[in-house]
Structure 1
Amino acid sequence: MTALSDQFLPAYDAAPTPQQKLQLLLLWVAQKPLVLFQQLRDQRPILAVPGGPVLLTLCADVQEALSRNTVFTVRPYLPKIDPSVGPFMLDHDDTVYNQRDKGILRALIQQIDMPGVRRTVSALSQKAIANGASYDGRLDLVTQVTRPVPVGLTGAYFGFPGPDVTTMLKWSYATQYDMFHNLSDDPTIHAANLAAGQGMKDYLSTFLPQRARQVAADPQIDDVVARLLRLVTPPQIGFDMARIMTNTMGLLVGGIETTSAATVQAIDQILDRPAVLASALQAVLADDDTAFDAIFWEALRFNPINPFVVRLSVAPYVIAGGTPRETTIPANTLVFCSNASAMQDAAAVPQPGNFIPGRPGYVYMHFGYGAHLCLGDQVSLQQAPEMAKQIFKAGFTKRAPGTAGQIDFKGGPFPESFTLLR
């Protein structure tokens, strides 16, 4: 990668064209995100690329934008999501797809299920670690644990087992990559997403009717898809089998790569801090999930899974009105709302540079903010830290030598390998 200087803004201001300015911004986001966001918060908290996106870095501004979803909309995701899985809650603001479908799914993914979810993740993780660890005590977290375990939970709890793990991972990767990371609109990435969507539809068109018959015959079957299939709604509601299919696909799209990245990146941060690692291992030994989870989510704050979420303004809007940074965002402007930067903003997070487990939950924006808060947040609160806990419990607490012991994205948007030793 290109070596970057210590100061972003002088290089940005000197870039001769808007396209070069944007390229430099995205390069810094990829290579030095926390350094970039610190400089912007201090010197230019609202960065408007000429003719391009506006980047928001302060917590107040990020939350303001994400609270006004009728102005700052999720329309940028629509051309990637709808052609693949059908109209979905994630790319439709204030519509029946968002309000009705999210309400139904929220009612079916219940808080009372979460202890069972954690136990399932624990068992899946232990099995994956035992099967994946090499004879010489090496474990590649991504390929052996943090990807396959969420696939297992997608089958066991959500009720979408898929044909096999390899296919499910392929579908998950292709859809997540195009829908949320393909900022350059690469046609090859988009085509893979469409193919994955069609593959899921083909599978589910056979699986769902078969499952509906099984569910009708056996009242003991209980997972989210089973609950969807048992749901009786009047025709006026419009929640038919097509809606069940789309929302079933959505359970896979949002649940694998993000969970894997969160687990790997939090572990990476914990390993960088010997005292934190010691506290984490003490919590593991005591089977203290409250203490361990507090460490996990604080660790992820130092390397969140997304540097920002994307919105499109559909009307002119004055952000941070009445402050010295007040800025008018024109209609039809892409807006990058940096939740990663917001979680490092001293105005909202006391001593943001310090590692302080047990911060109030509202400090964290790992699951987004506002109307599009992650549907599976309660599941993720259990799944990601439990995988990390079981990895540490199995004795994998040291990095492998060299590059193998560092997170490798292999040029893509998601962690692809990260090897630890016993």
Structure 2
Amino acid sequence: MTFLAEFDAAAGNPPAQVGVVIKWLRSNWPAMYAELRADRPILPTAAFTMVTRATDVLAVLAQPSLYSVRGNQRAMDPAVGPFMLARDETEINWEEKGLMRALLRWDDLPRVRALAGHVSAAAIANAVGKAGATGPRLDVVPTIARAVPLAIVQHIFGFAAPSDDLLRWSFATQHGMFRNSPFSADVLASCHKAGEEMRAWLKPFLAAKRAYAPSGGMDAVSRLIDISQAPAAGISPERVLSNVCGLLVGAIETSSQAIVQIIDQFLEHADWREAALAADAAGNIAAFDAYVFEALRFNPITTIQFRFVEQDRVLGEGTTYATPVKAGTVLAVCTGSAMFDAALMPDPDRFDATRPANAYLHFGVGHHECLGRYVGQVSIPEAVRQLLRQPGLARAAHPAGAIDFAGGPFPEHLVVTWSGGATAAKHCMVTRTDTTESAA
């Protein structure tokens, strides 16, 4: 049965129709989106209205005053304080987003890439050292996928809390703020509790840095402390605290899921992997990175961004499928669908690593483009590169060799094996110009 046939068969039972959507999102979202783009590009449900064509997706995301993220406030504010990511086109958003972008400097990117390579290579070498008769065996999630962004948070961002605490806070806040669907009060409570713990740890840490740390620090937190002490900056200690919390919330689980799902795609498609490794062997890091993000298009970390309709509007106005929506409607803006729309991605079902980098929606677009975009655009492919170069890389025997979400919102396990010792990728100590090209 097709998606729309199953959806329509549940007419008169709105909760059942939402259940059909969730089922297809988890089992076969590409087929569901293809059918919707062709036959019903805007689909109202009892929980949200789905927007699936690239033109409409981009139109919604480009108008944050009309289609806002105010729904984020319930989860974010009690956890990290009033935060810019829940306040579109406001003073706090305008000032603090610009400030944080300036502090996450482009000249950090060679260090970011080198750190990602070092952490991944160390995990691979450790697996080789423990290898039995069947060769090395590695669970990618704890050893590379989470370990790489964790190290970046601690050493590049400068949020140097204990690893176990950071991982716990990251999971709970990302889950509660962005993956709490269907809604769970327990997940929201865990998010708020993690935020309270995080802020309690940070207050003395930041106070000590203000009092004793020398200026000119190399990490983002030190830079934020430095600039906040200038009266002209106009940023209070409480706003510093919220923004440091934000550095963690968006970093670990998102990057981890991307790394895992990219590796999974390369394990599934040997020809993609061979082409990516050929680019690596030729020393073309920008081309290798392009293979990575094209692979992620086939299984992105999320296919939906939610928005809140602020005024009565007509979606798809001027088209045959124009659909009125009332203020207060929640939109499911299907970015995963848009990346398979021929209007944005010509011949969308074909793997094509030469697509323009700005056509991808992995890091958001416009007003809500990810603050850490350029960090992710070098750290994620470098972690993948280190693992892909291992000879005979393959999935472990089922079920360990499949991504295991363990009933939660993020990958928890993916076990791989390979045939021999570690093959180390040369860490990407490139010039600033080369790094910029690979991250753009």
TM-score (norm 1): 0.94
> 2:428 corresponds to which residue?
none
Residues 276, 295 of structure 1: 8 Å contact kept: yes
> 1:76 corresponds to which residue?
71
2:329 aligns with one of 320, 326, 333: 333
In 2, the alpha carbon distance for the partners of 1:120 and 1:34 equals: 35
Are positions 1:26 and 2:22 aligned together?
A: yes
> 1:188 corresponds to which residue?
186
Are positions 1:143 and 2:142 aligned together?
A: yes
SS in 2 for 1:184: coil
My pick for the range that moved more, 85-94 or 204-213, is 204-213
Are positions 1:278 and 2:277 aligned together?
A: no
- Offset of residue 419 of structure 1: 0.8
* CA 206–128 in structure 1, closer or farther in 2 if over 3 Å, else same: farther
Q: Which amino acid aligns with 1:305?
A: I
Q: Which amino acid aligns with 2:398?
A: G
In 2, the alpha carbon distance for the partners of 1:108 and 1:390 equals: 28
SS in 2 for 1:231: helix
Q: Which amino acid aligns with 2:199?
A: K
What are the Cα deviations for residues 256-309 of structure 1, in whole angstroms up to 9, with x where unaligned? 001011111111112211211111222333443112101100000001101100
- Offset of residue 233 of structure 1: 6.2
Q: Which amino acid aligns with 2:141?
A: V
In the alignment, structure 1 segments of 5+ residues that lack a partner are none
Residues 67, 307 of structure 2: 8 Å contact kept: yes
Q: Which amino acid aligns with 1:71?
A: L
* CA 334–284 in structure 1, closer or farther in 2 if over 3 Å, else same: same
* CA 37–279 in structure 1, closer or farther in 2 if over 3 Å, else same: same
What are the Cα deviations for residues 166-211 of structure 1, in whole angstroms up to 9, with x where unaligned? 1111100000001001123311111111111011111111111122
> 1:225 corresponds to which residue?
221
1:213 aligns with one of 190, 211, 214: 211
Alignment of 1:21-420 (within 5 A): 21-49=17-45, 51-132=46-127, 134-136=130-132, 137-162=136-161, 164-216=162-214, 219=216, 221-232=217-228, 238-395=234-391, 397-420=393-416
Residues 139, 396 of structure 1: 8 Å contact kept: no
Residues 285, 393 of structure 1: 8 Å contact kept: no
In 1, the alpha carbon distance for the partners of 2:346 and 2:298 equals: 14
Residues 132, 144 of structure 1: 8 Å contact kept: no
In 1, the alpha carbon distance for the partners of 2:413 and 2:73 equals: 30
Residues 228, 240 of structure 2: 8 Å contact kept: no
In the alignment, structure 2 segments of 5+ residues that lack a partner are 419-440
In 2, the alpha carbon distance for the partners of 1:395 and 1:120 equals: 23
* CA 84–396 in structure 1, closer or farther in 2 if over 3 Å, else same: farther
* CA 287–400 in structure 1, closer or farther in 2 if over 3 Å, else same: farther
Residues 276, 288 of structure 2: 8 Å contact kept: yes
- Offset of residue 31 of structure 1: 1.2
- Offset of residue 235 of structure 1: 5.2
My pick for the range that moved more, 352-361 or 125-134, is 125-134
- Offset of residue 412 of structure 1: 1.2
Residues 396, 420 of structure 1: 8 Å contact kept: no
In 2, the alpha carbon distance for the partners of 1:198 and 1:36 equals: 39
Q: Which amino acid aligns with 1:109?
A: L
Q: Which amino acid aligns with 1:150?
A: P
In 1, the alpha carbon distance for the partners of 2:74 and 2:347 equals: 40
What are the Cα deviations for residues 41-66 of structure 1, in whole angstroms up to 9, with x where unaligned? 111111111x4311011100000011
Residues 66, 72 of structure 1: 8 Å contact kept: yes
TM-score (norm 2): 0.91
- Offset of residue 236 of structure 1: 7.5
SS in 2 for 1:336: strand
